């Protein structure tokens, strides 16, 4: 079976941590995750959870001004990008991101939708924070067969509370 869409409720920080763990497991050999969502919807918090689970011990902060933070682990390189200030895909060239990423490279891009064309195999995450009620959701959309298989495993794990 393959899953192309998954919606999960992120009712508290523990839920974000749990999703971060599942996503970290999915990118242990590399992968691309593009995050979108309004200001304060939890993009950086989810990236922090993924990085923590991958073994990043540095404190992970949003690269809003320097655009890219890279973390070099023995087994993996993690690139955390914040595209809030970059709109035109050509501006992203300055970051010199691998496209497509080589094995053992992870790209986690906040405001990353502009990179969709560059990365045909990826997971798109839309974070939703509904104002008054503050109910947070994440909509995950797998693009490409590999991520569909991975999302299948994530969906299965989520259902079983893993």
Ligand X SMILES: Nc1ncnc2c1ncn2[C@@H]1O[C@H](COP(=O)(O)OP(=O)(O)OP(=O)(O)O)[C@@H](O)[C@H]1O
Interacting residues toward Mg ion by CB under 5 A: 43-44, 62
Residue ranges in 92-121 that form contacts with ligand X under rule CB under 6 A? none
If binding is defined by CB under 6 A, does position 7 make contact with ligand X? no
- Measured from the CB of residue 85, what is the shortest distance to Mg ion in angstroms? 12
Closest CA to 108 of 60, 145, 154: 60
Per the rule left: phi > 0, alpha: psi between -120 and 50, beta: everything else, 104 is left
Q: How many residues bind ligand X (CB under 6 A)?
A: 15
The number of beta carbons lying within 10 Å of the beta carbon of residue 159 is 9
CB distance 70 to 145 below 8 Å: no
Which residues face 124 on adjacent strands? Answer: 34, 141
By a kind-dependent CB cut-off of 5 to 8 A, residue 3 interacts, out of Mg ion, ligand X, none, with none
By a kind-dependent CB cut-off of 5 to 8 A, residue 42 interacts, out of ligand X, Mg ion, none, with ligand X
Task: Using DSSP bridges, classify how beta strands 77-82 and 105-110 pair: parallel, antiparallel or unpaired.
Answer: parallel
Tell me how far apart the alpha carbons of residues 88 and 39 are, in angstroms, rounded to a whole number.
Answer: 20
Member of 21, 28, 62, 139 binding ligand X (CB under 6 A) = 62
For residues 21 and 62, which CB has a smaller minimum distance to Mg ion in the complex?
A: 62
Using CB atoms, what's the residue nearest to Mg ion?
A: 44
If binding is defined by CB under 6 A, does position 10 make contact with ligand X? yes
Q: Which residues bind ligand X (CB under 6 A)?
A: 10, 12-13, 15-16, 37, 39-45, 62, 136
């Amino acid at each position: 079976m393959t899953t192309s869409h998954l919606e999960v409720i992120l009712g508290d920080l523990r839920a974000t941590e749990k999703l971060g763990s599942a996503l970290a497991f999915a990118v242990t050999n590399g992968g691309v995750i593009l995050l979108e969502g309004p200001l304060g919807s939890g993009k950086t918090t989810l990236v922090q959870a993924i990085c923590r689970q991958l073994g990043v011990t540095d404190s992970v902060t949003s690269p809003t001004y320097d655009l890219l933070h890279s973390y070099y682990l023995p087994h993996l390189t993690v690139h955390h990008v914040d595209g809030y200030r970059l709109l035109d895909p050509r501006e992203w060239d300055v970051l010199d991101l691998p496209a497509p990423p080589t094995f053992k490279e992870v790209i986690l891009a906040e405001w990353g939708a502009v990179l969709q064309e560059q990365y045909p195999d990826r997971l798109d995450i839309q974070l939703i924070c509904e104002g008054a009620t503050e109910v947070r959701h994440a909509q995950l959309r797998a693009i490409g067969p590999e991520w569909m298989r991975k999302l299948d495993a994530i969906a299965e794990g989520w259902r079983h509370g893993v």
